[in-house]
Amino acid sequence: MKQARFVRVDVFATKPFGGNPLAVFPDARNLTSREMQLLAMEMNLSETTFVVPPTKGSGADFRVRIFVPDMEIPYAGHPTLGTFYVLAKEKRIKLREPVTTVKMEVKAGVMPVEIHSKKGRITKVVTVQNRPEFGDEVKDVGLLAQALSLDEGDLDLERAPPQWVSTGLPWIIVPVRDRDAVERASGNAAAFASLKKVLPGNIADLYVTCLDPIEKGSTTHSRGLSLVSKNVVEDPATGSASGCLGAYLVRRRLVPISECIRITNEQGYEIGRPSRIAVEVRTAGDEIEAVRVGGTVVHVMDGHAYL
């Protein structure tokens, strides 16, 4: 019988049972792609990661395969943070304080990951995302509102129209007028499925957000809703979408602009897993040069899978 060890962590959390849970298989060399998919389905988390040797010539230190329950995806933020926290904690990465930079290979490409540490303790992990791509604005705003069980008037269309954005994994950023609209949003699976057919690239991920946070010091209050296996599911903390959101806010000039814009995005409050996600957007003139997303990680449990 084949065994595979995994580590469970909570990402964007300061204590267990907050943030976004993740299962990491730190040595997946003996697993097939089908076994990885079955394990991700069994874990039933938003994502599960599998660490394998990098592709020859990639220049990466590790290759990370990221699976949701029904498919492999090109990139995601919280799995990146959680995976490299585990690799550093298990001393597979030699820390050089205050910041150690390693290279991760994923389907979206090779990306830097920064591990911040002090006196041997990992203080946070930061994923350096791809430079943002901005796609089309969503035209069918009525269907979009219906997919979120909101009224079209809840959307902030004049100042902030919904738009496709990607910093490695594409999301539709959906700004609404206030936190009440964010809190009222709930997925309508039938409308979601219809919307998916008309969205660019059949994107099925909506990031609802507003500039009306709960916590002092936060910039935005957000929720991530996705269509998975014909059901709408909510993510407690979404690093990839937070990077897209930061780029969107800067591009639309909805936050004060400087060479280094820092944004704190809060998420997960509606489902009892409050999370705070640090986003940094660096600019040069009118161009966005870099997007970084970081946060803390908590080790929750360990286990073995038997195949």
Q: List pLDDT tens digits, range 267-292.
A: 999 999 999 999 999 999 889 999 99
Q: For 202-235, write each residue's pLDDT tens digit.
A: 777 999 999 999 999 999 999 999 988 788 999 9
SS3 205: strand
Summarize the confidence of residues 131-150 as an average pLDDT.
95
Cα 282 to Cα 185, 262, 287: the distances in Å are 31, 9, 9
Cβ contact 4:31 at 8 Å: yes
If pLDDT is split at 50, 70 and 90, which confidence band does 200 have?
confident
Find residue 3's DSSP bridge partners.
306
Helix (H) or strand (E) holding 12: none
- The question of whether 137 is a catalytic residue gets the answer no
Q: How many helices (H) and strands (E) does the chain have?
A: 6, 18
- pLDDT of 101: 97
Residues 6+ apart with CB under 8 A from 96: none
Evaluate whether 267 touches 236 at the Cβ level (below 8 Å). Answer: yes
Q: Quick: pLDDT tens for 8-24.
A: 999 999 899 989 999 99
Residue 204's contacts (CB-CB under 8 Å, 6 or more residues apart) are 192, 196, 226, 227, 228
Q: What is the pLDDT of residue 218?
A: 97
Q: What is residue 286's predicted lDDT score, i.e. its pLDDT?
A: 87
Of 47, 105, 234, 266, the catalytic one is 47
Q: Are 277 and 295 in contact (CB under 8 A)?
A: yes
Backbone angles phi, psi at 285, to 5 degrees: 65, -130
Name all domains of the chain by residue range, CATH numbers in brackets: 3-129+295-306 (3.10.310.10), 133-293 (3.10.310.10)
- Say how far apart CA 89 and CA 164 lie, in whole Å: 36
Q: What is the mean pLDDT of the chain?
A: 95
Q: Residue 225 is inside which H or E element, if any? A: strand 220-228
The pLDDT assigned to 228 comes to: 81
Q: Each residue of 49-105: pLDDT tens digit? A: 999 999 999 999 999 999 999 899 999 999 999 999 999 999 999 999 999 999 999
Dihedral (CA of 82, 83, 87, 93) sign: negative
DSSP labels, 78-130: HHHHHHHHHHHHTTSS---SSEEEEEEEETTEEEEEEEEEETTEEEEEEEEEP
Q: Alpha helices of the chain — where are they, by DSSP H?
A: 33-43, 77-89, 141-147, 179-184, 189-198, 239-251
Provide φ and ψ at 59, rounded to 5°. Answer: 80, 5
Res 70: pLDDT? 87
Mean pLDDT of 155-159: 94
Q: What is the mean pLDDT of residues 118-140?
A: 94
DSSP-assigned letter for residue 39: H
| H-helix or E-strand spanning residue 160 | none
Q: Give me the helices (H) in 154-260, please.
A: 179-184, 189-198, 239-251
Q: Which amino acid is at 220?
A: T
